[in-house]
Amino acid sequence: MAPKFTEDETDDLIYFARVGDKDEFETLREELCKREGCSTTEALETARESESGNGVLHMSAANGHHELLALLIKQLSNPSPQNPQMLAILNTQNASGNTPLHWAALNGHLECVKILIENGADPTIQNQKGHDAVYEAELADKTEVVDWVLKEGGEGLEEGIAGDDAGEGGAADESTGEEGVEVVKVEEGEGKLEDAVKNLGIGGAAEK
């Protein structure tokens, strides 16, 4: 049976992932898993915003919190790396079809991109705009991400960038298709808005 979290508990997990508060996230996750008798995998499957479909990995990847992302993926690797449940969570699409990899790539968070792909994230998944993660990175001029993913992903991804989507037009309005979003990155405990991304769809405000 899936664990049951209150709306506030889900919001807190999403918030801690969004701002990269690893200690607070782990404290709450352990408390909830103990109460519900569930694994980290089951907790992450449950902790998603109902309207947007955004999950914990979306938030940590979008904001460049690679240490939290790595910790969660390590926990998901139980009982084995790249098990089916782990891969399903890594490649979860939100309401606009974007995976955690889409957001990490679009925001230029190369370490998060590396962690996701090296652990089984699929760079060929397309969002509702028909864009894969590397195409989103190209639109956002995140060349470091584009170069690394193409090197690791092979010719198929490069052909995708030069293919059907290339004729669709501009950059900013050809992004992920999600609306009204700001990416929040917190440094040294102080909240600040950085790298605000229009039309990205990282829902919710920084404040709880």
Digit-coded pLDDT (tens) for 38-87 = 999 999 999 999 999 999 999 999 999 999 999 999 999 988 889 999 99
Q: How far, rounded to the nearest angstrom, does the alpha carbon of residue 189 sit from its chain's CA centroid? A: 21
Percentage of the residues of the chain whose pLDDT score is greater than 90 = 68
- Distance between start and end Cα atoms, the chain: 29
Q: Could you tell me which of 14, 204, 20, 200 has the C-alpha nearest to residue 96?
A: 200
pLDDT of residue 1: 74
Digit-coded pLDDT (tens) for 171-203 = 333 455 554 344 544 343 333 333 433 334 444
Write down all domains in the chain, each with its CATH number in brackets.
Answer: 7-170 (1.25.40.20)
